Structure 1
Amino acid sequence: MQHETGRKGWDTSYEWKIILVLSLTFGLVGLDRFILPVLFPAFMKELDLSYQDLGNLVGILAIFWGISAFAMGLLSDRIGRRKVLIPAVIIFSLMSAFSGMAGGLVSLLLIRAVMGLAEGPVASTGVAVAVEASHPKRRGMNNGIFQCMISLFGNAIGPIIATQLLLVTDWRTVFMLVGIPGLVMAAAMFFLVREPAHHVADGAPLARAGFVDLFRHRNLPLAMFTLMCAMGGVFVMGAMMPNYLTDYLHLSLQDMGFVTSAIGFGGCIGQFAMPALSDFFGRKLVTLASYILAAIFTYLFTQAGAGSLATLFWLLFFAALFNFSALAILAGPVAAEAAPVGMVASAAGLVIGAGEIFGGGVAPVIAGRIAASSGIQHVFGFTIASLVLGFVIALFLRETAPRKTGIS
């Protein structure tokens, strides 16, 4: 997967520059995506919305994200990375700003659906660009850097910024402000992103693999199903946590913002450190450990009351760290290393798409129904069950880390 400019030696300069730009852009994806649940307590009464509406708003974005991640990833394997990635960044940034103009549920649903269509390609095509620019022994680390920014910006910095801005402005202005930086990153990508070198054999282009070829490696379908479980944990946690903290534990908006930020800080470290560790200890072992530890810390969090903000923060921090860790390994290096030649974006998009449609789309809708019918405190039992099921499926993964297999 070496870049054409690096045939005489790995182009490390391009590798680090593109990882930086991709990481900042994916961070903005997280900010634009996850700021809605944080702001939801501030506008749910104004727009006459319910917990079920929250689940639907989170779910519709994820479903369209999932569809688009695969479809546009496949397209980028055909027509190139730039033609897909740059327009996608522009569109999702505009949709974030338009969220601040919504007048009700229908307009918000439409805006979030279009945002999902635009953000999906950043995930799948971004993984492909990161893999193609990375030395094989740094794939896990670089994908971890890329993916961890969605947690840092979306779940860590975002809740703090959003809830503090609400002290000086309204929720509509917050939505509009967070859409601006993405347009700057689209301009940076225009000047930086390169297309991958053509893969050749004996001077002739290799035959392009077909859709069926994506499933020849057993890790791809396994990654699809187990990622559904990881994303079910991540997105139910992200969608329901602000209202759980304010409505059930009766925290203030600012205290809620502080505790909720633990999802982002823990997730960021998990998405960076654990994929990097998987370069050394193997994808399978680190994924299995992540699932078990995520389930344990999520359970401990549900048993903690509102007495200590620090206790809530750290339990949620570690629950998110290990949950996001499993997500990052499966969506990045596991998917990429199972991909046929020339179809990295398609493989990543298929895995991410499946995870998004169920874990990010269906699971929050189910959680919304649980919260509406039984109480929001019961949604985390569903999360823990998803993590345990993910562990069972991951037992059947085949190890693909280059340091463990000797294959690059």
Structure 2
Amino acid sequence: MSTKVKWSAYEIKAVALLAITFGVLSLDRWLIAPLFPLIMKDLHLNYQDIGNLAGVLSVSWGIFSAVLGGLSDKVGRRKVLIPAVIGFSIFSACAGLAAGFMSLLMMRALMGVVEGGFTPTSIATTHEASHESRTGLNIGIQQSTFALIGLGFGPIIATQMLKVVSWHWVFVISAIPGLICAAFLYKVIREPEYIQKPTAANADRPAWNEVFKYRNVILNMVSLLGIMTCFFVISAMTPTYLTDYLHLSVESMGFVTSAIGFGGFVGALGLPAISDKIGRKMALWICFILGFIALVIYMNTGNNPSALFVLLFIISACGFGNLIMNTAVIPAESVPVALRGAASGLPIAVGEIFGGGVAPSLAGYVAQNYGLYYILYIAVAGWVFGAIISLFLKETAPIKVVKKIDKNENGVLNA
């Protein structure tokens, strides 16, 4: 009979602090969205400029997730985490000082570099702080704040601040929480044991590219092409779809769109925790089926804000939950501890570059040439593609792996 393992003080502090910091990071990333109308007017930007500002951050985030995630496996987590948090705080503040498109574009690109480095490193650190029976739960807690704070509360925070300061000062003030988080990270976060106490056994650590030897990492990368295509197309195009195709008012559009943030929070927190109990693959497939049903109904729902909110909440919960499972939980469990940063960084890189950069551009082309409604077919196609790839994943949940080992051992004993 298994006994419940108590939470250690370090596990509580590390997971809570990494979760808060990831929420602050998300706020700095998405703060620009509700400020775009004012920024466009002041800096004389057009819609193409706005798309480029979003795309450049996704591409640099993706590239440096792989680079800096792998680096943290070699030099330690603290040497990546703390400079990254200081960096995205400073670059967010500097965005408020931008005098034109190019300077703002540069700040967004630099933000992507350091935020991309923080993400896989924070995932690896959360794994190392967690007891294996709570890995999914803790990863869910740490990652869920991205949706809750950045996508859920971010627009509210930004628009309320605009009542008392200009958009320039909104960016400048946004640096303060990140710098405070950096100070606490410096005090709290520990290096993994193989960094703290190098031995002959772990001195010769594997090269980052050895992650390609693990089937799950490859499948997670491929699956994310579909999952993040769906998630980013829905996230990027929903406001326009609701106002221009379904003719919702701006107020109703804001209400419905908020479901993306709040649904994403529930999915990111709930799905990994549930998967601790029923297994990673079973949790993924339940989510894929629910998400598919919600997508189909959403496509056939008219001007009904309440119904649209519920459906978008379910779609976002399933989408963000699956995203966390394929970037943070399964790949890190599939490799040795010294490869966890790289294992999380590579799927994030593929997802950000394609899902955050290419897919929204493709959706924009389809909307422009064939109509807004048809962007939903891109989302459905991505979702189905991700579901098919997930069929070939190997189970990594400790509860399932241990049961399989025990069953095999019992079979040998009884033979």
**Structure 2 Cα separation of the partners of residues 332 and 374 of structure 1:** 36
The one-letter amino acid paired with 1:317 is F
Deviates more, 1:181-190 or 1:255-264: 255-264
User: How far is the alpha carbon of 1:180 from its aligned partner?
Assistant: 2.3
Amino acid at match of 2:158: A
Question: Is 1:271–2:268 an aligned residue pair?
Answer: yes
User: Does the 8 Å CA contact 2:76/2:195 hold for their aligned counterparts?
Assistant: no
What CA deviation, in whole Å up to 9, does each residue of 1:7-35 have, x standing for no partner? Answer: xx987110110000000011111111123
1:229 aligns with 226
Cα distance per residue 1:107-134 (max 9 Å; x no partner): 3322211110010111100001000000
What is the CA deviation profile of residues 37-71 of structure 1, one whole-angstrom value per residue up to 9, with x for unaligned ones?
33334444554444443333222111111111111
Task: Determine the C-alpha separation between the residues in 2 that align with 1:53 and 1:292.
Answer: 37
What is the match of residue 285 of structure 1?
282
Amino acid in structure 2 at the alignment position of 1:83: K
Aligned equivalent of 1:119, options 99, 110, 115: 115
Question: Structure 1: 5+ residue runs without aligned partners?
Answer: 1-8
Query: Which residue, out of 151, 155, 159, partners 1:159?
Result: 155
Deviation digits for residues 243-283 of structure 1 (CA, Å, limit 9, x no counterpart): 43444445555443332221111000100110011111111
Q: Distance in 2 between matches of 1:186 and 1:254?
A: 37
1:37 corresponds to = 33
Match of 1:218 in 2: 215
Q: What's the offset of the Cα at 1:36? A: 2.6
Q: Which residue of 1 aligns with 2:411?
A: none
Kindly state the Cα deviation for residue 94 of structure 1 after the two structures are TM-superposed. 1.9
Please tell me whether residue 137 in structure 1 is matched to residue 159 in structure 2. Answer: no
- Output the CA distance in 1 between the equivalents of 2:137 and 2:285: 18
Higher mean displacement: 55-64 or 261-270: 55-64
CA contact (8 A) 2:70 2:208 kept: no
- Identity rate, percent: 46
CA, structure 1 residues 179+366, in 2 after alignment: closer, same or farther (shift >3 Å)?
farther
**Count of aligned pairs between the two proteins:** 399
**Is 1:87 aligned with 2:83?**
yes
Moved more, 37-46 or 352-361: 37-46
Which residue pairs with 1:6 in the alignment?
A: none
User: Alpha-carbon deviations, 1:77-126, whole Å to 9, x = none?
Assistant: 11111111111111111222223333443333222111100101111000
The counterpart of 2:237, out of the listed 235, 240, 259, is 240
Letter in 2 for 1:220: V
- 2:302 pairs with 1:305: yes
1:329 corresponds to which residue?
325
Whole-angstrom CA distance in 2 between matches of 1:186 and 1:96: 15
Contact map agreement 1:292 1:388 (CA 8 A) in 2: no
Query: Are 2:193 and 1:197 aligned?
Result: yes
Determine if the alignment matches structure 1 residue 401 to structure 2 residue 401: no
1:5-84 to 2 correspondences below 5 Å: 12-84=8-80
Q: Is the 8 A contact 1:160 1:261 kept in 2?
A: no
Partners of 2:145 and 2:282 in 1: how far apart?
Answer: 24
Amino acid at match of 1:125: T
Which secondary structure does the structure 2 equivalent of 1:102 belong to?
A: coil
Note closer, same or farther for the CA distance 1:403–1:240 as it changes in structure 2 (3 Å cut): same
Alpha-carbon separation, structure 1, partners of 2:132 and 2:20: 22
* Deviation at residue 153 of structure 1 after TM alignment: 0.5
Counterpart AA for 2:279: G
**1:208 matched residue in structure 2:** 205
Structure 2 length as normaliser, TM-score? 0.88
Give the whole-Å Cα distance in 2 for the aligned partners of 1:50 and 1:328: 33
Q: Bigger CA drift: 321-330 or 246-255? A: 246-255
Distance 2:245 2:164 in 1: 26
User: Are the counterparts in 2 of residues 55 and 239 from structure 1 also a CA contact under 8 Å?
Assistant: no
The correspondence for 1:348, drawn from 344, 355, 362, is 344
Code of the residue aligned with 1:261 in structure 2: it is: S
Q: Judge which range, 93-102 or 280-289, deviates more.
A: 93-102
Report the aligned-residue RMSD: 2.5
Mean CA deviation greater in 86-95 or 197-206: 197-206
Unmatched segments (≥5 aa) in structure 2 = 406-415
Q: Normalization by structure 1: what TM-score?
A: 0.90
Distance apart, 1:200 and its partner CA: 11
Distance 1:177 1:372 in 2: 37
SS at match of 1:65: helix
For the residues of structure 2 that align with 1:309 and 1:110, how far apart are their CA atoms? 38
Distance verdict in 2 for CA 1:396–1:32, change over 3 Å: same
**Comparing 156-165 with 43-52, which one deviates more in the overlay?**
43-52
Q: 1:382 aligns with which of 378, 385, 391?
A: 378
Give distance in 2, aligned partners of 1:122 and 1:18: 14
Q: What secondary structure sits across from 1:195 in the alignment?
A: coil
Conservation of the 8 A alpha-carbon contact between 1:52 and 1:372: no
1:177-220 deviation digits (Å, cap 9, x = unpaired): 33321111111111111111128999633231123421222101
SS in 2 for 1:342: helix
**1:3 alignment counterpart:** none
- 206-215 or 354-363, which moves further after superposition? 206-215
State how far apart, in whole Å, the 1-side matches of 2:199 and 2:7 are: 22
Instruction: Name the SS of the counterpart of 2:194 in structure 1.
Output: coil
Q: C-alpha separation between the residues in 1 aligned to 2:241 and 2:47? A: 10
| CA displacement, residues 221-252 of structure 1 (integer Å, 9 cap, x when unaligned) | 00011122222222222222334344444555
